[in-house]
């Protein structure tokens, strides 16, 4: 029987957070940890929401919020925060495991359209690290390329020069892949075009109005991609490629 990993992570410093400032998060993190440990999951979430209101975010915080929501049986919110955590740390196996498990409770079983092999390959590469990690890899690779180029000018040995050039070309390849991966992960994080259905049942229409033809119904926890917006409506696409219009108050953006 599958069991979800429900581990609360206590942070010791604000270094885990993006956009960190002078706001002292540690006392609130301590309080959130105690609340979760005592089984007061809503209070734990409320503490994390205080941090979120200050514009701070962390994969670990979102992961813990997902765990708390799951304990409260709010599956749509659990999935939402697991997805947000995965955006910030796409290689975390615990986040991925809990997200996959939470998705088993979603009533809509939608088969995702397969990506072309080169898209799947690139996704598997980009998901290895976060945007910041890819950026650091690119920077280090660039510095090493400069160092190797300088050493190549200094050497008089053809064998050493050949070895340096081979190594430099390898780092050029790593640099290009890192830049592409950093851009791709940053674009995914900043696009805000993914969402989780938050209403119990949502009618998907053929057009952005109440008189549109009813195409199908989706339920809370289902992940969608937002492809267009018109006033209070949004056009969505499901993982299987089906599209339609829903009111924007029926989902929460990841």
* Alpha-carbon gap, residue 36 to 226, rounded angstroms: 34
Residue 18: beta bridge partners?
Answer: 57
Tokens of 168: 């430099």
Q: Does residue 100 share a domain with residue 30?
A: yes
Residue 67 domain-assigned (yes or no): yes
Percentage of the chain exceeding pLDDT 70: 91
In a domain, 66, yes or no: yes
Q: Are residues 96 and 31 in the same domain?
A: yes
Last residue of a domain, one of 104, 132, 147: 104
Q: Are residues 138 and 178 in the same domain?
A: yes
Token readout for 114 is: 């397969």
The reply to whether 76 falls in a domain is yes
Could you tell me if residue 230 is inside a domain? yes
Q: Is residue 150 part of a domain?
A: yes
Which is higher by pLDDT, 180 or 113? 180
Question: Which among 70, 104, 138 is the end of a domain?
Answer: 104
Please tell me the distance from the alpha carbon of residue 81 to that of residue 88, in angstroms, as a whole number. Answer: 11
- CATH at 52: 1.25.40.10
Please provide the average confidence, as pLDDT, over all residues in the chain: 90
Lowest model confidence (mean pLDDT) among 120-124, 161-165, 231-235: 120-124
**How many structural domains is the chain composed of?**
3
- Rounded distance, CA 236 to CA 202, Å? 12
pLDDT reading at 216 higher than 80: yes
Q: What is the domain range of residue 218? A: 194-253
Tokens at 133, concatenated: 């990690």
Q: Which of 133, 114, 130, 94 is nearest to 3 (CA)?
A: 94
- Of 190, 205, 238, the one marking the end of a domain is 190
Say if residue 32 is in the same domain as residue 75.
yes
> Residue 110 falls within a domain, yes or no?
no
Same domain, 137 and 166: yes
pLDDT of residue 111: 87
- What's the whole-number mean pLDDT along residues 117-145? 92
- pLDDT of the residue at 18: 52
The answer to the question of residue 5 being in a domain is no
Please tell me whether residues 185 and 199 are part of one structural domain: no
Integer Cα distance of 158 and 199 in angstroms: 68
């Amino acid at each position: 029987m599958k069991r979800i990993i429900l581990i609360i992570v206590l942070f010791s410093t604000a270094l885990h957070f993006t956009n960190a400032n002078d706001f002292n998060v540690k006392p609130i993190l301590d309080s959130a940890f105690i609340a979760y440990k005592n089984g007061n999951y809503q209070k734990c979430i409320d503490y994390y929401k205080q941090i979120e209101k200050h514009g701070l975010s962390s994969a670990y915080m979102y992961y813990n919020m997902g765990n708390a929501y799951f304990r409260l049986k709010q599956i749509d919110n659990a999935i939402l925060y697991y997805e947000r955590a995965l955006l910030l740390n796409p290689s975390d196996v615990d986040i991925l495991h809990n997200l996959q498990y939470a998705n088993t409770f979603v009533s809509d079983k939608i088969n995702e359209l397969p990506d072309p092999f080169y898209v799947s390959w690139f996704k598997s590469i980009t998901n290895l690290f976060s945007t910041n990690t890819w950026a650091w890899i690119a920077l280090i690779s660039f510095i090493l390329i400069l160092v190797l180029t300088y050493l190549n000018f200094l050497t008089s040995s053809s064998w050493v020069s050949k070895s340096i050039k081979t190594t430099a070309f390898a780092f050029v390849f790593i640099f290009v892949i890192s830049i592409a991966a950093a851009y791709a992960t940053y674009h995914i994080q900043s696009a805000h075009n993914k969402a989780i259905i938050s209403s119990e049942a949502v009618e998907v229409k053929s057009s952005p109005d109440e008189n549109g033809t009813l195409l199908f119904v989706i339920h809370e926890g289902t992940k969608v991609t937002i492809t267009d917006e018109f006033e209070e409506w949004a056009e969505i696409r499901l993982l299987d490629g089906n599209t339609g219009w829903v009111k924007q108050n029926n989902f929460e953006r990841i």
